[in-house]
Amino acid sequence: MLCFFKHENVLSALDILQPPHLDFFQEIYVITELLQSDLHKIIVSPQHLSPDHIKVFLYQILRGLKYLHSARILHRDIKPGNLLVNSNCVLKICDFGLARVEEPDQNKHMTQEVVTQYYRAPEILMGARHYTAAVDVWSVGCIFGELLRRRILFQAQSPVQQLELITELLGTPTLEDMRFACEGARSHMLRRAPKPPSLTALYTLSSQATHEAVHLLCQMLVFDPDKRITVVDALAHPYLDEGRLRYHSCMCTCCYTTSGGLRQYTGDFEPATSHPFDDLWERKLTTVQQVKEEMHKFIAEQLNTSRVPLCINPQSAAFKSFARFIEELPVWSFDQSIPHPVHTSLIVRISLPLPSNFLELPLSSIIVENRWERARCRDHQEIVDRRSSILNIDIESVRLVIKAGYL
């Protein structure tokens, strides 16, 4: 998915580090754009959030979700911590660990172990076996309320209590509104005393809870997912007009300013994807080995033309801290003898250049790593056997790895 996404408000992969030989393929390293913070940190901080902040954040969340939903992707874990924000208030949706392609067949069951509880839609709380993109809209509504309130809107200790807090605000749902619920959840709800809706309480969330804000929030927080506002309709709500204007006036990359100072606006402020995401190849994989083989092949076939060079900042605090650690390590030159066998981890600095007889060193365990490959060999014979595939190391790559702290 990260390689498929091409949208300003959705985190995508800039590069994937080339994995080692398939036999040693255990980890994947994905390079993405750096964003300094996330919406959760901003909400809990003492920093003032103006109405403009809230509008531009909400606009970007919905803008990114429109793109995802047009690709038939359900995020299923929209929450402030999964909304990255940079120093210019540009927001990107991240963490697609629970994301999946929307299931058109309503008879097929979908997992209920999704969405962090505070942002979980009523249909999931009540055991619905099938759900739609409306679950993401509910999560956005909870975040919208949290931006206004500066506290979690429905903060419960359990799923049952979560549902109770929701009904205190929305009132007891009708049987029609609960048609998606499992029998047990529906019976539990009907046994309780009916509660009237108290949506006017939303006006007390904040002084910024204007009529337009509450009107949009009420349309997001609807019990029945079929009656809940869609992302497309939410983007058309008047409350977001100012957020759209601010974002496209000075924050986006889809619009630009001419040399004469005129702003040239894109023809499509909220673009959708040209084609849905296809997960058919994933469904064909039945074993871990098949997954490894397909992932290894996919990464190897990625074009290098758009890759961003991997750079190390020697001025960063992390680099300086590691540099001090490295300076305290003993220097190992290849004319020195090494204890054999090595019963504990041996961490040394390597004096360069590497000699031609590197493979003949009597080490019982050795880790060899360059910019793109890593291999752990348990014995000398294995080192020799792997010579052609993992020990083709150039001096500059090794020097870079040592400085970066990967070896």
Q: What is the pLDDT along the chain (407 residues), one digit of tens a residue?
A: 777 888 899 998 887 777 767 777 777 778 888 888 999 999 999 989 999 999 999 999 999 999 999 999 999 899 999 999 998 999 999 988 888 888 877 777 777 667 788 999 999 988 888 888 999 999 999 999 999 999 999 998 888 889 989 998 888 888 888 888 888 888 888 888 788 888 888 888 888 889 999 999 999 999 999 999 999 999 999 999 999 999 999 888 888 888 777 888 888 888 888 888 877 777 777 788 888 888 888 877 775 545 555 555 667 776 677 667 656 655 544 444 444 433 333 344 444 444 444 444 443 333 443 333 333 444 444 433 433 333 333 333 333 333 333 33
Would you say 235 and 208 are in contact if contact means Cβ atoms under 8 Å apart? Answer: no
In 3D space, the residue among 164, 188, 172 whose CA is nearest the CA of residue 223 turns out to be: 172
- Cα–Cα distance for residue pair 108/76, rounded to 1 Å: 17
The two tokens of residue 336 are 């020195």
In residues, how long is the chain? 407
Q: Per the structure, how many domains does the chain have?
A: 2
Would you say 398 and 370 are in contact if contact means Cβ atoms under 8 Å apart? Answer: yes
- Among 264, 298, 318, identify where a domain stops: 264
- Which domain, by its residues, includes 183? 37-264
Q: Which helix (H) or strand (E) holds 30?
A: strand 30-32
Q: Is residue 77 annotated as part of the catalytic site, yes or no?
A: yes
- Among 264, 294, 328, identify where a domain stops: 264
Specify which residues 368 forms β-bridges with: 375
Q: Are residues 223 and 364 in the same domain?
A: no
Q: Are residues 309 and 381 in the same domain?
A: yes
- Cα–Cα distance for residue pair 397/358, rounded to 1 Å: 16
In 3D space, the residue among 10, 40, 14, 46 whose CA is nearest the CA of residue 29 turns out to be: 14
Would you say 124 and 114 are in contact if contact means Cβ atoms under 8 Å apart? Answer: yes
Residue 195: inside a domain: yes
Q: Are residues 352 and 259 in the same domain?
A: no
In the numeric block, the tokens 């120093």 are attached to 87
pLDDT of residue 182: 84
**CA atoms in the 13 A half-sphere facing the CB of 128:** 20
- Among 239, 264, 289, identify where a domain stops: 264
**CA atoms in the 13 A half-sphere facing the CB of 203:** 7
Q: What is the CATH number of the domain that holds 68?
A: 1.10.510.10
Measured CA to CA in angstroms, residue 323 lies from 292, 343, 351, 403, 406 at distances of 35, 26, 15, 7, 12
Q: Are residues 198 and 292 in the same domain?
A: no
Would you say 89 and 55 are in contact if contact means Cβ atoms under 8 Å apart? Answer: no
Residue 211: inside a domain: yes
pLDDT of residue 28: 78
Q: Are residues 214 and 160 in the same domain?
A: yes
DSSP alpha helices (H): ranges in 77-133? 122-125
Q: Which residues, including other chains, have CB under 8 Å from residue 117's CB and lie 6 or more apart?
A: 156, 159, 162
Catalytic residue among 15, 38, 77, 136, which?
A: 77
The two tokens of residue 293 are 């083989």
Q: Are residues 326 and 260 in the same domain?
A: no
Would you say 142 and 217 are in contact if contact means Cβ atoms under 8 Å apart? Answer: no
- Cα–Cα distance for residue pair 9/84, rounded to 1 Å: 9
Q: What is the largest CA-CA distance in the chain?
A: 83
Q: Are residues 210 and 297 in the same domain?
A: no
Residue 273: inside a domain: no
Q: What number of other Cβ atoms are within 10 A of residue 56's Cβ?
A: 22
pLDDT of residue 402: 32
Q: Are residues 222 and 321 in the same domain?
A: no
Residue 274: inside a domain: no
